[in-house]
Amino acid sequence: MIAPGQSLGLLGGGQLGRMFVMAAQSMGYRVTVLDPGADSPAGTVADSHLRGDYLDDARLRELADTCAGATTEFENVPADSLRFLARHCVVSPAAESVAVAQDRIAEKSFLRDNGFPVAPFRVVRSLADLDGPEGGALVPGILKVSRFGYDGKGQARVRSLDEARAAWTSLGGEPCVLERWLPLARELSVVVARGFDGEVRTFPVAENHHQHGILDVSIVPARVPDALAAQARANAVALAEKLDYRGVLCVEFFVLDDRRLLVNEIAPRPHNSGHYTIDACVTSQFEQQVRVLAGVPLGDTALHSPAVMVNILGEAWMHAGGEPDWSAVFAHPRAKLHLYGKREARAGRKMGHYTVLADTLDEALAQALQIRERLRPLAQPAQSIPPEALA
């Protein structure tokens, strides 16, 4: 066990890292962040900030010498950095698990080869890979770069093979995955934690709605039948066990119109759709990340009350011509505001989030959308979020 008072290392300085740092500090740990940025959200609240590249041997050695354990806040940390640290301290998650999740080709192949249902796909490394009936069967579809794509970046919707060829060229000829587009009824996610002793806990299933490829609203508990929610949680646990994953992992799912459940992708870290856990659950996903790394028993994941989480993007600052009027949030006594300390607001940039708690899910959703309309009225209209639950 890594006891409170000892130091934990974190690779990555974004908002996920910021929330990890705060959770760890509240439990009595000190945190050192390794990140190249000067004013990163995590670095500004950490006990120590090592400014450097994730492959900087000197910085990695310093982190290893001063920390009893190390973890990550985003999936694109080089696996070699995790392997180096693992020779000197506890590391969660392991390099081998992260290597699968940070490469879409490896991820899709792993899921398919281990029997997890996924959308039909094909690996595209050249234009020739789009030829023939196999390629034609995958359009209309979505072409996705294999590495470093997020929040809709590095993706292109294609309706024909000609569009797929043009999109592959526009994406720089990078290795990609072409996935068949399927009609969706819902998008879900499950955050699961697995300790070094094999203990597993899942958080309540979130129902997610996106705008321009970026998560907009998460509704918890998801408005799906209990059996479907149980299936999603069981699949998330099975996936973590098959990966031999130790840490906090998010599994994103598609629910098709015929109610089939497919795995969309996995994130080897806490997830945007799990932010509601800070205010709505006994244990947050970030405290759970600390618990796994420290080798202590996992926390209770029970939901206090229904919750709706809404992302706050840079557009809120643009609409306000400066700092937004936060009274739109504070007017609701059960709304919780979380800002990430980012100094520059840009379109599509995640600047914070708020979570609304209520006695009923309908009440939480209505209040959350009212606040969203005041902060950014040009957002996706509220009626685009289906009000009904799946039968």
Cβ contact 94:77 at 8 Å: no
391 lies in some domain: no
Q: How far apart are CA 303 and CA 309, in angstroms?
A: 14
Of the three residues 180, 199, 229, the one that is the final residue of a domain is 180
Q: How many domains does the chain have?
A: 3
Q: Which regions of the chain are under pLDDT 50?
A: 382-383
Q: What local confidence, expressed as pLDDT, does residue 376 receive?
A: 76
CATH number of residue 233's parent domain: 3.30.470.20
- Claim to verify: residue 160 and residue 190 sit in the same structural domain: no
- Claim to verify: residue 138 and residue 265 sit in the same structural domain: no
The CA-atom distances, in angstroms, between 58 and each of 55, 66, 78, 84, 90 are 9, 12, 15, 11, 18
101 lies in some domain: no
CATH number of residue 174's parent domain: 3.30.1490.20
Q: What local confidence, expressed as pLDDT, does residue 213 receive?
A: 85
Token pair for 20: 């990890």
- Claim to verify: residue 307 and residue 189 sit in the same structural domain: yes
- Claim to verify: residue 307 and residue 365 sit in the same structural domain: yes
Beta bridge partners of 354: 310, 337
Strand 200-202 with 176-180, pairing: unpaired
Q: What local confidence, expressed as pLDDT, does residue 180 receive?
A: 94
212 lies in some domain: yes
Cβ contact 15:41 at 8 Å: yes
Of the three residues 43, 77, 92, the one that is the final residue of a domain is 92
Q: What local confidence, expressed as pLDDT, does residue 379 receive?
A: 52
- Claim to verify: residue 241 and residue 309 sit in the same structural domain: yes
- Claim to verify: residue 161 and residue 190 sit in the same structural domain: no
- Claim to verify: residue 68 and residue 130 sit in the same structural domain: no
pLDDT tens by residue, 265-307: 999 999 999 999 999 999 999 999 999 999 999 999 999 999 9
Going by the DSSP 8-state scheme, the letter that residue 303 receives in this structure is B
111 lies in some domain: no
Of the three residues 180, 205, 221, the one that is the final residue of a domain is 180
Q: Which of 46, 2, 44 is nearest to 20 (CA)?
A: 46
Q: What local confidence, expressed as pLDDT, does residue 131 receive?
A: 83
- Claim to verify: residue 337 and residue 278 sit in the same structural domain: yes
- Claim to verify: residue 176 and residue 188 sit in the same structural domain: no
- Claim to verify: residue 275 and residue 348 sit in the same structural domain: yes
- What is the pTM assigned to this prediction? 0.94
- Claim to verify: residue 243 and residue 377 sit in the same structural domain: yes
Strand 69-72 with 48-51, pairing: unpaired
105 lies in some domain: no
Going by the DSSP 8-state scheme, the letter that residue 4 receives in this structure is B
- Claim to verify: residue 203 and residue 343 sit in the same structural domain: yes
1 lies in some domain: no
Q: Which of 332, 166, 1, 344 is nearest to 156 (CA)?
A: 166
**Structural domain span for residue 56:** 7-92
102 lies in some domain: no
CATH number of residue 67's parent domain: 3.40.50.20
113 lies in some domain: no
> What are the start-end ranges of the H helices in 143-274?
161-170, 226-242
